[in-house]
Amino acid sequence: MTVKLNYVSILVSDMARALAFYRILGLPIPGDAEDGHVEIEVDGLRIAWESEALMRELNPHWTRPHGAGRIGVAVQADSPAGVDAAVDRLRAAGHDVPDAFDAPWGQRYATVTDPDGTAVDVFAWQPAPEG
């Protein structure tokens, strides 16, 4: 099974300030983008910025990370079964990995943690419903 880096998410405390910085760097972020989730695609890599406020809205138990952990990385599996297989391989290697789940945004999804504590999301798009 092969995976490719597909999505990088940067956690920000002040979206406008963060996007201004990345615009200065030259990333093509629309001028009106200031929402709790802003996403662009550059050469096939999706880059997103997520606000701390959005994180608290999605998970009331969420707390601001200290030190590492402000960037999330996602790898795309070739199928939903590939996500489950990745979870199984990590467990077999002794890693404590939560179950994958069918996310409401249409992906099979699991968040795993690397040995340094960095979250890595493993996902695959679900097949489109027939009908």
pTM of the model: 0.68
| Nearest of 128, 47, 41 to residue 80 by alpha carbon | 128
Q: What is the pLDDT of residue 88?
A: 93
Task: Decide: 7 and 42 in contact? Cβ < 8 Å.
Answer: no
Note the pLDDT of residue 62: 86
Six-digit token pair at 111?
């968040």
Which tokens sit at 37? 């989730």
Compute how many other C-beta atoms are within 10 angstroms of the C-beta atom of residue 6.
Answer: 16
Give pLDDT tens digits along the chain (131 positions). 788 899 998 888 889 989 998 998 889 999 887 788 999 999 999 999 999 899 888 888 888 877 666 677 888 999 999 999 999 999 999 888 999 999 989 999 999 888 877 788 999 999 987 87
The total of other beta-carbon atoms located within 10 Å of residue 60's CB is: 6
What pLDDT is recorded for position 46? 94
Q: How far apart are the first and last CA of the chain?
A: 30
Q: Which CATH superfamily is domain 4-125 in?
A: 2,3-Dihydroxybiphenyl 1,2-Dioxygenase, domain 1 (3.10.180.10)
Per-domain residue ranges of the chain: 4-125
Check residue 48 and give its pLDDT.
93
Say what the pLDDT of residue 113 is: 85
The DSSP secondary structure of 98-131, one letter per residue, reads PPPEE-TTSEEEEEEE-TTS-EEEEEEEPPPPP-
